[in-house]
Amino acid sequence: MFILNILLLTCIIFLYFCIILLSSLYNFEFLKKATILLGKTKRKLTEKIENIELKKYGPRLTLSVHTISGEAYKDDDREGTIVILPGLDDSVFHYETAFNYFRTYNPEWGILGIDLRGQGKTRDDEGNIYSSKITLEEQTEILDQILEKNKIDSAFIVGLSYGGGVALQYAKDYPARVLGLGLIAPYVTNFKAYKAGLTGIYYGLSFYNPFYKMLSKYSLPPYFMSAKIKGRLNPQTNWTSQRMKALSKLTMGILDLNTDKVLDEMTYLPIGIHLLTACQDTVVPIAAHRHFYNRIPKNILKSFSLEDGIGHRVLQQHPKQASMWIHRLLLEYSELEKKA
């Protein structure tokens, strides 16, 4: 029995050294990822409430912005922070699976997910704010305040749909704070005009109607009500009348965004601007994203990825594909930094 125990212990030690040898050949990625997976319970995501002052509406009005954060695997090896901005009817609280994938594939990067004004739990605050729209200037100001409070000098910003529009505007207004943009099925100005057939022709002509935005204020509430009835809004949210109003306000704000103009004025970003487009996206047509990609200045590093088998809600329904895409982008950036 004693000899058998000795043999078993010898085999265990031998296997251990084999694993060490193999992991060294792969830059210790195996052991690093294994350690992260084993230590997940020690590195939980943290929910915070950031009180943001909305100066436009008076000094006493504050907005409780909710964030989810996760520290890098090793703070001393921290390469930066990935900021995630959700879609129009999404919330960062729907992205927990995506966050865990992000942290597994990008252990050296911190995570900060932000529900801006009119998103997630902040939708209920809209009853206290009398305005017809939530402007992108307000959203970028709130985003900048949050990064300042969290002592984040620069970040790689990932934006889905509406969040992509906010990310683009922020990169233009605060370029020094942005390492790069990862835009997933992002908003594109007049994207409905790229739809096939008569639908595209109708929206293409309507966009140049001087009363288009004025009429949108009245047409959006019934549009979103119809979307709710048809089950097209995010099913993880209980859509009260107050929350539906927030959707209209957000849409009215992003209608002011001219993505072509912003891209023309865009300056250098270290990681560049990268698009992930879904083949089965029924919201923003692929043709709109191709146009967006072609408008990115030539002096900015860029890429266009077309993913099959996924729809518009990429971060919520296809988190692994999104996180692997982000991982590839950041890995290329890290390799370029080492060579520089």
Q: With contact defined as beta carbons under 8 Å apart, do 204 and 193 qualify?
A: yes
Q: Are 271 and 302 in contact (CB under 8 A)?
A: no
Residue type, 250: L
In this prediction, residue 276 carries a pLDDT of 96
Q: What is the pTM of this model?
A: 0.82
pLDDT at 27: 38
Per-residue exposure over 261-270, b if at least 16 CB sit within 10 Å of its own CB, e if not: ebbeebeebe
CB 115 within 8 A of CB 134: no
pLDDT in tens, the chain (340 residues): 657 666 665 665 556 555 444 444 433 333 334 333 334 434 567 887 777 666 555 444 566 677 777 765 544 456 789 999 999 999 998 998 998 898 888 888 989 999 998 998 888 877 667 788 899 999 999 999 999 988 899 999 999 999 999 999 999 999 999 999 999 999 999 998 888 888 788 777 777 777 777 778 888 999 999 999 999 999 999 999 889 999 999 999 999 999 999 999 998 999 999 999 999 999 999 999 999 999 999 999 999 999 999 999 999 999 999 999 999 999 998 888 777 6
Find tokens 């296997």 and name the residue: 15
pLDDT recorded at residue 130: 76
Q: What does the domain layout of the chain look like in residue ranges?
A: 1-38, 44-339
Which residues lie below 8 Å from residue 118, measured CB to CB, with a gap of 6+? 126, 134, 246, 247, 249, 250
pLDDT for the residue 5: 60
Amino acid at 61: L
Tokens of 1: 């029995």
SS3 annotation, the chain = CHHHHHHHHHHHHHHHHHHHHHHHHCCCHHHHHHHHHHCHHHCCCEEEEEEEECHHHCCCCEEEEEEEEECCCCHHHCCEEEEEECCCCCCHHHCHHHHHHHHHHCCCEEEEEEECCCCHHHHHHHHHCCCCCCCHHHHHHHHHHHHHHCCCCCEEEEEECHHHHHHHHHHHHCHHHEEEEEEECCCCCCHHHHCCHHHHHHHHHHCCCCCHHHHHHHHHHHHHHHHHHCCCCCCCCCCCHHHHHHHHHHHHHHCCCCHHHHHHCCCCCCCEEEEEEECCCCCCCHHHHHHHHHHCCCCCCEEEEEECCCCCCHHHHCHHHHHHHHHHHHHHHHHHHHHC
Q: How far is CA 308 from CA 95, 281, 305, in A?
A: 21, 10, 10
Q: Which of 202, 196, 138 is nearest to 170 (CA)?
A: 138
Per-residue pLDDT tens over the stretch 301-325:
999 999 999 999 999 999 999 999 9
Structure-token pair, residue 44:
């939980």
The domain covering 44-339 belongs, at the CATH homologous superfamily level, to Alpha/Beta hydrolase fold, catalytic domain (3.40.50.1820)
Q: How many CA atoms lie within 13 A of 142 on its CB side?
A: 29
Angle at which helices 29-38 and 2-25 pack, to 10 degrees?
A: 110
The predicted pLDDT at position 7 comes to 64
Q: Are 322 and 184 in contact (CB under 8 A)?
A: yes
**CA 22, 28, 29: angle at the middle one, nearest 5?**
105
The predicted pLDDT at position 64 comes to 67
CA–CA separation, 286 vs 73, rounded Å?
36
pLDDT of residue 71: 66
